[in-house]
Amino acid sequence: MSRSRKTGIMGGTFDPVHIGHLFIAEAARDAYKLDRVLFLPTGDPPHKKASHLASGRDRINMLRAALRDNPSFQVDDREVAREGTTYTIDSLRELKERYPEDLLYFIIGGDTLLELKTWKDFPSVARLCSFIAYHRPGYGEEELLEETERLTRVYHANICFAEGPGLDISSKYIRHRMERNQTVRYLVPKTVENYIEEHHLYRGEWYHEGSWEDHRAAQHIDG
């Protein structure tokens, strides 16, 4: 009897995708033997200002460029294609309908774990998928464990953890460097760096978004 396919889901603006996104996805895939990871770029995320500096198509193309050498990583463009506001619950329902036998694992950063209860229809989200939360050992563990216990008790959420080094990288920080003509080599895959340069992305808009210090508040995954 064949086992169910284990599908990881990594949501985010990916504006642009960077090495932090890729490592977190790989750490989760490796820790829980996921068969694949779907990268799910957001369309119009309700929890962020709708001010992407790259179009949905550019973000999808950058993801495809970043993932082309990893057969376990795939791009799912359903949220970019969807009109209106994007919610995780809508995508999970569609994925479950399309792949009813798959076990779904939503990959998040530790900071996002503390916000899960604010997601639209979180009780249904918790029924449709498990969560893999990436965190740096020794940092904020007590708060994470307390929230995990609460989400498990109240919503019967299934939450597990993948550990790894702190990745203090955000897409906003990368855009800031691009604005100032500073190198982003080794912060993004070379294929993504080339795409940004060829399409003249992230030039002249960054200062309208916030200060450089704001990048530390950016979530690991949402970028």
The first and second tokens of residue 19, run together, are: 């090495």
Among the CATH numbers 3.40.50.11540, 3.40.50.1000, 3.90.1150.10, 3.40.50.620, which is that of 6-167?
A: 3.40.50.620
Confidence tier at 211 by pLDDT (50, 70, 90): very low
The first and second tokens of residue 154, run together, are: 């109240």
- Calpha distance 76→63 (Å, rounded): 10
Which of 62 and 82 is assigned the larger pLDDT? 62
Confidence tier at 47 by pLDDT (50, 70, 90): low
What is the pLDDT at residue 220?
40
Helices (H) and strands (E) in the chain, counts: 9, 6
> Which residue intervals of 156-221 are DSSP H helices?
171-179, 190-198
Which range among 107-111, 157-161, 208-212 has the greatest average pLDDT?
157-161
Q: Which of 45-49, 126-130, 151-155 is predicted least confidently?
A: 45-49
Check pLDDT > 90 for residue 167: no
The pairing of beta strand 6-12 with beta strand 103-109: parallel
Which of 137 and 162 is assigned the larger pLDDT? 162
What is the pLDDT at residue 2?
73
Do residues 215 and 19 make contact, with C-beta atoms less than 8 angstroms apart? no
Q: 134 forms bridges with which residues in the sheet?
A: 109, 162
> Which among 66, 63, 70, 92 is positioned nearest to 79, based on CA atoms?
92
Check pLDDT > 80 for residue 172: yes
- Calpha distance 14→196 (Å, rounded): 13
Give 3-state DSSP helix, strand, coil % of the chain, rounded to 5.
45, 15, 40
The pairing of beta strand 103-109 with beta strand 130-135: parallel
What is the pLDDT at residue 44?
62
- Give the DSSP letter of residue 188: B
Check pLDDT > 80 for residue 39: yes
As a whole-number percent, the residues of the chain with pLDDT over 70 amount to 87
Do residues 220 and 109 make contact, with C-beta atoms less than 8 angstroms apart? yes
- Calpha distance 136→134 (Å, rounded): 7
Confidence tier at 137 by pLDDT (50, 70, 90): confident
- Calpha distance 22→39 (Å, rounded): 10
Q: Could you state, in order of their start, the residue ranges of all structural domains in the chain?
A: 6-167
Residues 8-29: pLDDT tens digits? 999 999 999 999 999 999 999 9
Which of 211 and 119 is assigned the larger pLDDT? 119
What is the pLDDT at residue 46?
55
- Calpha distance 60→62 (Å, rounded): 5
Please give the mean pLDDT across all residues of the chain.
88
- Calpha distance 199→201 (Å, rounded): 6
Packed helices 56-67 and 190-198: angle between N→C axes, nearest 10 degrees: 150
- Calpha distance 12→221 (Å, rounded): 6
Confidence tier at 129 by pLDDT (50, 70, 90): very high
What is the pLDDT at residue 147?
96
